[in-house]
Amino acid sequence: MALQSPLYIVASPNPRVGKTLIARLLIEFFRGSDRAVVGYDLDPREPALARYFPDLVYSLDITETLGQMALFDRLIANDSQTAVIDLGYSLFDRFFAVMGEIGFEQEAQRRRIEPVVLFIADSAPLTLRSYAEIRRLLPQTVLVPVHNEAVSFMYIAKDFPPTRAGCSVIRLPRLSPAVRGVIERPRFSFADYLAKQPHGTTEIHTWAATIFAEFRDLELRLLMGRLGASLSGIGPAPPRESRSAG
């Protein structure tokens, strides 16, 4: 079975729920594993992810058709490395609508790219509707709920059913305000921090190690899902003609 390149899309229809933090953690996780990774910051108002990784992250404006075409062309061209998208909330609806319109799922299958949406969950009606809409628009895309305890106290599992067996919720524990101030510094690196003190027991060690373990578990479950599909003879859905963004 040919290896697939994951495409992680960190998304929420709401602002300030931890999207950029999760995207940062993903990039650091892959860099720490010596994996080739590229990032895309799609927040036209505040491209925070690009400021953390100026040499790894492209800041793109997809409010217009040309920007959308540039993004999806890059995603398809970069089919040999892991990609991480930090999707600005103001472009949430448009981004996923374009993915559906251009048949991105089918093109990704041909290129051995596996889209995975990490969706920050909360109890707001808009959030529930948005989750259901992504499932409708992109039935072949893996959708994994994320519970950020810093922004949402309650998580109701039945409201956010994962789209692949075993790929259940990823949890981000709450951090103390002092520690949050440390990790939000522009030059702070989780991977460097853990590497310098591999056996440390600080709050940052425990928190980051827990989340990285969640990422490793997710990757394992994605791999097991692909192996299971391959062994059972379940192939991808018949491809349809890809259309240009717009």
Q: What is the pLDDT of residues 103-160, one digit of tens each?
A: 999 999 999 899 999 999 998 999 999 999 999 999 999 999 999 999 988 899 899 9
- C-beta of residue 52 within 8 angstroms of C-beta of residue 187: no
Banded pLDDT at 198 (limits 50, 70, 90): confident
Residue 225 pLDDT level (bands cut at 50, 70, 90): confident
Q: What is the pLDDT of residue 45?
A: 82
Q: Which domains does the chain have, with CATH numbers?
A: 5-231 (3.40.50.300)
User: Which backbone phi and psi does 204 adopt, to 5 degrees?
Assistant: -65, -40
Tell which residue, 46, 40, 42, 43, has the closest CA to residue 26. 40
Q: Residue 246: its pLDDT value, please? A: 43
pLDDT averaged over every residue in the chain: 88
Find the length of the chain. Answer: 246
pLDDT at position 46 is 85
Spatial strand order of the sheet with 82-86 comes to 57-59, 37-41, 82-86, 5-11, 113-120, 142-148, 170-172
Q: Where residue 197 falls among pLDDT bands split at 50, 70, 90? A: confident
The CA distances from residue 104 to 119, 140, 193, in Å, are 19, 10, 37
Q: Summarize the confidence of residues 88-98 as an average pLDDT.
A: 94
Predicted confidence (pLDDT) at residue 234 exceeds the cutoff of 80: no
Q: How far is CA 192 from the centre of its chain?
A: 22
How far is CA 154 from each of CA 12, 128, 150, 171, 233, rounded to the nearest angstrom? 16, 13, 10, 12, 39
- Are the C-beta atoms of 113 and 5 separated by less than 8 Å? yes
pLDDT at 230: 65
What is the rounded CA–CA span in Å between residue 207 and residue 205?
6
Indicate the range of 2-11, 125-134, 146-155, 175-184 predicted with least confidence.
2-11
What is the reported pTM? 0.90
Residue whose entry in the numeric block shows the structure tokens 């892959």: 30
Per cent of the chain over pLDDT 70 is 91
Task: Categorize the per-residue pLDDT at 227 as very low, low, confident or very high, splitting at 50, 70 and 90.
Answer: confident
Whether the per-residue pLDDT at 42 is higher than 90: the answer is yes
pLDDT: is 165 or 32 the higher one?
A: 32
φ, ψ dihedrals at 25, nearest 5° = -60, -40
| Least confident interval from 95-104, 111-120, 190-199 | 190-199
Three-state secondary structure call for residue 7: strand
